[in-house]
Structure 1
Amino acid sequence: MTDPMREILDRWKDAFDGHQVDAMADLFTSDALFQGFGPQVVAGRDAVRAYYEAVPDDRTAEVTVLSTYTIGEQVAGGFADVTFRDPKGWEAAVHLSLTLRREVDAWRIRQYHVSRVMAEH
């Protein structure tokens, strides 16, 4: 069995870096819970698509998987560090946690949560 967390994040990074919003939305379950940079948790694939449509086209992500787990054959997840960047020098480091669910055809993200990394807390 491959590592579902690494598999999904490789696909997510490719779609994010290419600003392929439909491909990104397809990585999520239809009832996904999503907490990005915004103040509200949103639900569903359409909300995820709308979130990514608002991200500037020139942003990219550097992903380092920190920890992964599986629970049986249907649930997996883990933690990663992600640094978002653009060519103008903007940068944002986050901790990312995912819960994944195996659907008939692929692993999908059921829960996505980022927490901004601050120099002081």
Structure 2
Amino acid sequence: MTSTADDKAILSGVLDQWKSAVDGHQPERVASHFTEDAVFQGLHPYSVGRQGIAEYYDSQPLGLQAAYRILETRRPADGLVLGYLDVEFSFTDRPALHVKLSVLVTRVGDDWYISHYQVSRLD
């Protein structure tokens, strides 16, 4: 269960697509990078499934940008990669928000999707 370059590449592949959709304020596209039954915990009450994820990102302000750095990865089982990240969400009208993010990405067929997303503020 140690971190590997392959695990980081898998996470980056999914998270680069997530970031692009967040930066473009495309909530439905953001949600498409999650499994149908994903557990999602942003900074508001949690939701399960793509609809809640799309609604969460639709409520975010225009101009929101995400920048992430992978700190740790683990492979708890075949077809699963766990990631722990630093994320900075920047805004056009207020200071940036720094959070920790844990994600579990799951292989579905030939693709990878976020099945669990948990944000933590440490301030």
The number of equivalent residue pairs is: 117
Structure 2-normalised TM-score? Answer: 0.88
Q: Secondary structure at the match of 1:12?
A: helix
Q: Which runs of 5+ in 2 are unaligned?
A: 1-5
Deviation at 1:115, TM superposition (A): 0.2
Q: Which runs of 5+ in 1 are unaligned?
A: none
Aligned residue in 1 for 2:79: 74
Deviations 1:76-117 (A, max 9, x none): 121110011112233211000001110014100110000013
- Counterpart pick for 1:4 among 7, 10, 30: 10
- Counterpart pick for 2:62 among 57, 61, 84: 57
Aligned partners of 2:41, 2:60: CA distance in 1, in Å? 14
Deviation at 1:52, TM superposition (A): 0.6
**Percent identical residues:** 34
Q: Secondary structure at the match of 2:51?
A: helix
- Name the Cα RMSD after superposition: 1.4
Aligned partners of 1:33, 1:72: CA distance in 2, in Å? 18
Q: Which runs of 4+ in 1 moved over 3 A?
A: none
Structure 1-normalised TM-score? Answer: 0.89
